[in-house]
Structure 1
């Protein structure tokens, strides 16, 4: 008997951690086994369904960092520890650890783009070296503050905001200017991951290319509108490419031709 691809399974909320006023991290008890960069479909009966990136995972649990931006996510943010929601997935093509293991890696993440690479950053010991550039609009938008502090003890982690305030003592400026200041001794051998808003990714990739990083060494993740997650609805389709099936992670040699 064929399995219903739309069938969800219930997952219990273990904990909820506020990140910002509108971003919360939900840790769920579940037997699903995602990989870094994949996403799941989250549904609430009588409310709706939406795709959410997996920000971390382990044996019997996984987490999602969810921004309150619409009908479904508004209700999700009203849930409490012990409540249940419904999950199907994981879906999509994630980051291949075989590509990065033992290599020098630079991760450039803008805003909520830090969530899909969080699980990769937690595996920093598997890389030959790691540098993180994380950019946010303002200090109030900074995600994963405890993790950023911890990561900074193990590898070079630069956090910048587009505009600071009187309480911000950190870096101010677009992430692209910090790409320019990277000292890459062998840019042809560096692996680069770029995740964030479309314009941020476009100009950040251009800066890495100027440094001499080959296109084939750059990987991006498309966080665009998806709906069904299984290539049936066409919401995520660009030309003949279904982002939910073949992405959201793409090598830049292909991604550069995926233009809306």
Structure 2
């Protein structure tokens, strides 16, 4: 009997980790093996449902980093390990990891856009021989908004990692970000000129973040000679029902939740949101 994509299942919260004032990472008991870049629909009975990207997964668990921004996520914020959430999915198309094998991979993440990329980075961190090189560029509003600082430090032991913030917090201290990473202030696009590119045909780029960040970051890489076919983006912020029924994610004739949220930029540039 085929699985019913409409039917939620109960998932136990195994652990809960604070990331920022508004963001928590939840580790949930699950046997699902998603593709990096996919998302789940998360619900609380009697409260509602919302789409959340999968930030990481492993044997017997998956993780989602959830920001408290509305009624459903405020309810989730009150839960503790041992409580349950209801999930359905995974949905959407993820990142084509094999497309990056043997290449110079550049990952550019803005704010919470780092969450759906965490499993991609961990995949290659565990298998660095699959890549020529890897540069990780991350941008946040302030040091207090930085996600996964311990992971950034860990990744920096193998890959080149740069972290930039739009502005300093009241303490004016960049050291809280991550000890092993290059730390700067300014927009993430300001990091791109310093990236030493391999042969252009061997470079692949993933960009995830707010729409304006993805637009101008992609333009910077195009200006450096990359082909649009070698750039991938995620429209994960457009997710709604996950099944192509509600129409909230539709751009022209494209249902983002069915054909995306991950798109090659050759397609993404035609999706005027």
Equivalence for 1:253: 266
Contact 1:42 1:52 in 2 (8 A): yes
**What is the deviation of 1:156?**
0.1
Q: In the alignment, which residue of structure 2 is the partner of 1:55? A: 55
Q: What's 1:164 paired with?
A: 168
SS of 2:237's equivalent in the other structure is: coil
Q: For 1:10 and 1:128, locate their aligned partners in 2 and report how far apart those are by CA, in whole Å.
A: 41
Confirm or deny that 1:225 pairs with 2:242.
no
Q: Is residue 235 of structure 2 the alignment partner of residue 235 of structure 1?
A: no
Matched, 1:21 2:34: no
Q: Distance in 1 between matches of 2:100 and 2:235?
A: 19
Say if 1:49 and 1:209 are closer, same or farther in 2 by CA, change over 3 A. same
Residue of structure 1 equivalent to 2:154: 150
**Whole-angstrom distance in 2 between the partners of 1:122 and 1:4:** 30
Aligned pairs for 1:95-114 (under 5 A) are 95-114=95-114
Give the Cα–Cα distance (whole angstroms) in 1 for the partners of residues 201 and 94 of structure 2.
23
Corresponding residue of 1:43: 43
Is the 8 Å Cα contact of residues 102 and 128 (structure 1) preserved in structure 2?
yes
* Superposed CA offset, 1:123-164 (max 9, x none): 222322111000001111000010000000010000010112
CA distance in 2 between partners of 1:226 and 1:118 (Å): 19
Q: CA RMSD in A?
A: 1.2
1:10-36: CA deviation from partner (whole Å, max 9, x where unpaired): 000000000000000000011111110
**What is the rounded CA distance, in whole Å, between the counterparts of 1:48 and 1:225 in structure 2?**
18
Do the aligned partners of 1:190 and 1:213 also contact (CA within 8 Å) in 2? Answer: yes
The 5 A counterparts of 1:165-180 are 165=169, 166-169=172-175, 170-180=183-193
2:178 corresponding residue in structure 1:
none
Instruction: Kindly report structure 1 stretches of 4+ aligned residues shifted beyond 3 Å.
Output: 1-4
Normalising by structure 2, we get a TM-score of 0.93
Q: Deviations over 1:32-73 (max 9, x none)?
A: 111100000001100000000000001110000001110100
Partner of 1:189: 202
Distance 1:164 1:237 in 2: 37
Among residues 218, 223, 226, which one is paired with 1:205 in the alignment? Answer: 218
The range that moved more, 183-192 or 206-215, is 183-192
C-alpha separation in 1, matches of 2:87 and 2:224: 41
1:34 aligned partner: 34
1:123–1:232 CA distance, 2 compared to 1 (3 A):
same
Q: CA deviation at 1:87?
A: 0.6
